[in-house]
Amino acid sequence: FYGSAPVERSASFSEINTKDITYFKSILRENNVIQDPDRLQPANTDWMHKYQGSSKLMLLPRTTEEVSHIMRYCNSRHLAIVPQGGNTGLVGGSVPVFDEVIVNVSQMNKIISFDKVSGILVCEAGCILENLESFLDNEGFVMPLDLGAKGSCQIGGNVSTNAGGLRLLLVQHLHENSSVGLEAVSANGTVMDMLGILRKDNTGYDLKHLFIGSEGSLGIVTKVSILTPPKLSATNLAFLACKDYLSCQKLLFKARRKLGEVLSAFEFLDSHAMDAVLNNLEGVRNPLPPAVHNFYVLIETTGSDESYDRERLDTFLFRLMESGLILDGVVAQDINQVSSFWRIREGIPEALMKFGAVYKYDLSLPLEKMYDLVDEMRARLGNPVKVVGYGHLGDSNLHLNITSPQYNDDILAQIEPFVYEWTSKHRGSISAEHGIGLMKANKLYYSKSPEVVQLMVSIKRLMDPNGILNPYKVLPHCLSANN
């Protein structure tokens, strides 16, 4: 588990024995109790190949009742668990640290209901995000979140990480989606039904929020209800070039004023991110050849009036080209161009992985300061390390990525704690959207006060007194419930 502080296996946890396997085989289908090392290997390794666990058991429940039986048993036996969805998490939260039992909900993948009048979708936690998108597309609706990992990540994982993504300007944060409801199973096997299907519910504490973003540390999410907006007919996407970061900021300011309610995404990437995509991914072309520009911006509008929305965007872009704020630009003419422009932005994480090791930082920072950190990091690290900046500019969310051929302690010592101190000094967040996981468990104090961390610990101890749920993650190791 490279880059996180060393952690020791807690002596309070038991080890799996043959009786445990016999029990799991009695409550699950036999072929959903996985002990085969070849099948365990990918579940023990994260998407970045940075974290490697050594679990000897993966369980694939098919129903909430099966999850409940698993939890009750593991709690009584002090067997540690790591809940797992699509295993696309980027902070080492979804893989075991040692020999925790992997509980993967991918077989719980049914759509339970969809109400076309209210737009509320109810489904099981293992539904893959892209499958939900396709289902809703056929119904004339859209999922209120979209991210590059949509082909593998699951809605239960999205809720558990409070995933953000590309269209937060149009839709809302999962905490703000007025109908996100959920069913979760707590550490002792109790099923908690918070699966609201109506927008309004003011009956005391709104406890579903504890599970949104808690990264599997408080319970396993088994079902989700979510409010989905109707699909609007007119979507336009522009790919633009700017000379510097200040121009990108000014462009955002103007887009908010002139495009207002139809502005659905505003993403930026620097020339280093663009180079990585063009050189490392097959079939990707620069939409603005031949020049290489310092910065690129994607602006998406989503509205209901095709000709008016397009004219509004064209006029906006024309004026800014004339003023020199945009150096060059192109508006997608068809669905193929739309996908090829998004492929550039969404393909950055995959393209960077081809350089070898990637040190990933996902930060919320005040807009005007955001890119200073990338410049400072570049000056600090020098060549041949590549420092790349891109992200959701519309949400003040920077993805700072640093690549080198292999993970290296000297490079890491140059990056951390500098990056966290810098973020904290500017009152930013050390995790805008990826979460804390194992990677940042001991860094929590950079973004949360000691009092708030203590309250988080108290909640964890109340809900999971034996600390079996995703141990060593989210909370500082010295304060974890199993210590």
**Residues found near ligand FAD in the complex (CB under 6 A):** 47, 82-90, 93-94, 105, 125, 147-149, 153-154, 156-158, 160-161, 163-165, 215-216, 220-221, 349, 433-434, 437, 470
Q: Distance between CA atoms of 62 and 275, rounded to whole angstroms? A: 44
Which CB atom, from 312 or from 360, has the smaller least distance to ligand FAD? 360
Structure-token pair, residue 109? 């993948």
Q: Distance between CA atoms of 414 and 50, rounded to whole angstroms? A: 18
In the complex, least distance from residue 5 CB atom to ligand FAD, rounded to whole angstroms: 18
Which CB atom, from 240 or from 348, has the smaller least distance to ligand FAD? 348
Q: Distance between CA atoms of 427 and 450, rounded to whole angstroms? A: 15
Which CB atom, from 122 or from 326, has the smaller least distance to ligand FAD? 122
In the complex, least distance from residue 163 CB atom to ligand FAD, rounded to whole angstroms: 3
In the complex, least distance from residue 251 CB atom to ligand FAD, rounded to whole angstroms: 21
In the complex, least distance from residue 140 CB atom to ligand FAD, rounded to whole angstroms: 25
Which CB atom, from 316 or from 342, has the smaller least distance to ligand FAD? 342
Q: DSSP code of 5? A: P
* Contact by Cβ (8 Å): 9, 52: no
Which CB atom, from 132 or from 313, has the smaller least distance to ligand FAD? 132
* Contact by Cβ (8 Å): 117, 21: no
In the complex, least distance from residue 281 CB atom to ligand FAD, rounded to whole angstroms: 12
In the complex, least distance from residue 330 CB atom to ligand FAD, rounded to whole angstroms: 24
Which CB atom, from 303 or from 435, has the smaller least distance to ligand FAD? 435
* Contact by Cβ (8 Å): 240, 290: no
In the complex, least distance from residue 11 CB atom to ligand FAD, rounded to whole angstroms: 22
* Contact by Cβ (8 Å): 466, 12: yes
Q: Distance between CA atoms of 98 and 95, rounded to whole angstroms? A: 9
Q: DSSP code of 458? A: H
Residues in the chain: 483
Q: DSSP code of 389? A: E
In the complex, least distance from residue 18 CB atom to ligand FAD, rounded to whole angstroms: 27
In the complex, least distance from residue 130 CB atom to ligand FAD, rounded to whole angstroms: 12
Q: Distance between CA atoms of 446 and 454, rounded to whole angstroms? A: 14
Which CB atom, from 222 or from 302, has the smaller least distance to ligand FAD? 222
Strands (E), 2-97: 33-34, 58-59, 81-84
List the one residue out of 7, 181, 185, 165 whose CA is nearest residue 83.
185
List the one residue out of 160, 285, 167, 296 whose CA is nearest residue 231.
167
Q: Distance between CA atoms of 373 and 129, rounded to whole angstroms? A: 32
Question: Cis omega (within 30 of 0) on the bond before 417?
Answer: yes
In the complex, least distance from residue 440 CB atom to ligand FAD, rounded to whole angstroms: 12
Which CB atom, from 442 or from 470, has the smaller least distance to ligand FAD? 470
> Which residue's CB comes closest to ligand FAD?
157
Which CB atom, from 419 or from 438, has the smaller least distance to ligand FAD? 438
* Contact by Cβ (8 Å): 21, 378: no
Burial class (CB in 10 A: 0-12, 13-18, 19+), 267: buried
Which CB atom, from 317 or from 456, has the smaller least distance to ligand FAD? 456
* Contact by Cβ (8 Å): 146, 229: no
Q: CA-CA distances (angstroms) from residue 156 to 62, 124, 153?
A: 14, 8, 9
* Contact by Cβ (8 Å): 225, 197: yes
Which CB atom, from 94 or from 423, has the smaller least distance to ligand FAD? 94
| C-alpha of 432 from chain center | 9
Which CB atom, from 325 or from 474, has the smaller least distance to ligand FAD? 474
In the complex, least distance from residue 289 CB atom to ligand FAD, rounded to whole angstroms: 26
Alpha-carbon dihedral sign for residues 424, 426, 429, 431: negative
**What residue has token string 């930026």?**
268
In the complex, least distance from residue 380 CB atom to ligand FAD, rounded to whole angstroms: 26
Q: Distance between CA atoms of 272 and 139, rounded to whole angstroms? A: 39
